[in-house]
Amino acid sequence: MHSLGQEIQGFSKNRLKKQSTRVTTVTGRKLLERRSDDGEGEEQVEELEKGSGFGFVEDKSLDLQVGVVRPFLLLASQDAAHDIDTLQRCKVTHVLNVAFGVDNLFPDQLVYKTTQILDLPDTDITSYFQECSSFIDQAREQDGVVLVHCNAGVSRSSSIVIGYLMLKEGLMFDEAYSQVKLARPSICPNPGFYQQLQSYKP
């Protein structure tokens, strides 16, 4: 009978799969990362091709999916916020823009509030809940419909909407998160926002 320890020692490192991952950096460089055979030590990175250095990877597909969290509270990406057909179809009257450096395109037709939030784990997202929730309530009191968006409609704007449900409706984090996730399945607050929301006590 082999002990587990002997079995582990006898396990041939050659049987481990070699790992390689293709990576496209934000500057458009394409890299191939390889883990060394024994799974330890440094990763080897081989450059496949240089990108054009635009600083972003262009995504041609528009994300016009609008999550209806409440009849008066919608969640989307900047694509939807910049698409007048989508806005009109959803009867949007107010837009809460929590992106950084994203323009408001229809100031003559809609009421805007811009709060520039950085999508970084150490940004104190909860410090924005009060002012953002006041704007959402203002839209609601005017029988309006408010669209909350950031760039992708994934981290910042979803965190603000979850915070609103916790602050104004008294929902616990799990319930608020699952309701927002149901409305817009692609949401994913960054790890810092997620932790802040979990421990948030309005």
Radius of gyration for the alpha carbons in the chain, expressed in angstroms and rounded: 22
Give the list of residues 6+ apart from residue 52 with CB closer than 8 angstroms, or none: 28
Catalytic residue positions, numbered: 150
> Measured between alpha carbons, how far is 105 from 90 in angstroms, rounded to an integer?
16
Separation of alpha carbons 155 and 106, rounded Å: 24
Structure tokens at 192: 């810092």
Q: Are 192 and 120 in contact (CB under 8 A)?
A: yes
Asked if 159 and 193 count as a contact pair (C-beta separation under 8 A), the reply is: yes
8 A C-beta contact, residue 177 and residue 188: no
Measured between its terminal Cα atoms, the distance across the chain in Å is 59
